[in-house]
Amino acid sequence: MQRRVLRLLALVLASLGLALADANDSKTFTVTVAATESVTIDTGTASPSVDYSDTGYCSAADRFCAWYPTVIYSTNYTTNRKLVASATTTSSILSVVLEKQAAYPNPFTPSWGSGSSPGSWSTAFSGSTLTLTPTDQDIVVGIQNGTYAIAPKLKLVFSSAPPAGTYSATVTFTIMAQ
DSSP per-residue letters across the chain: -HHHHHHHHHHHHHHHHHHHHT--------------EEEEEE-TT--S---TT-TTTEETTTTEEEE--EEEEEE--SS-EEEEEEEEESSTTEEEEEE-BTTB-S-B--TT-B-S---EE-GGG-SSEEE--SS-EEEEEEE-SEEEEE--EEEEEESSPPPSS---EEEEEEEEE-
- State the average pLDDT over residues 63-80: 96
* Cβ 143 vs Cβ 39: under 8 Å: no
pTM of the predicted model, to two decimals? 0.83
**pLDDT band for position 7 (50/70/90)?**
low
* Percent of residues in the chain assigned helix, strand, coil, to nearest 5: 15, 40, 50
The mean predicted confidence, pLDDT, of the chain is 91
> Residue 172: helix, strand or coil by DSSP?
strand
52-56, 65-69, 152-156, range with the lowest pLDDT = 52-56
Residue 131 CA to its chain's centroid (Å): 20
pLDDT band at 174 (very low <50, low <70, confident <90, very high): very high
> Residue 11 has what pLDDT?
55
Q: What's the whole-number mean pLDDT along residues 15-31?
A: 75
**Confidence (pLDDT) at 121:** 98
pLDDT on residue 24: 86
What sign has the CA pseudo-torsion 161, 172, 84, 122? positive
Residue 8, pLDDT > 60, answer no
pLDDT at 50 over 80: yes
104-144 residue pLDDT tens: 999 999 999 999 999 999 999 999 999 999 999 999 999 99
**Residue 152 in contact with residue 121, Cβ under 8 Å?**
no
For residue 32, the model assigns a pLDDT of 86
Q: Which of the four pLDDT bands, split at 50, 70 and 90, describes residue 18?
A: low
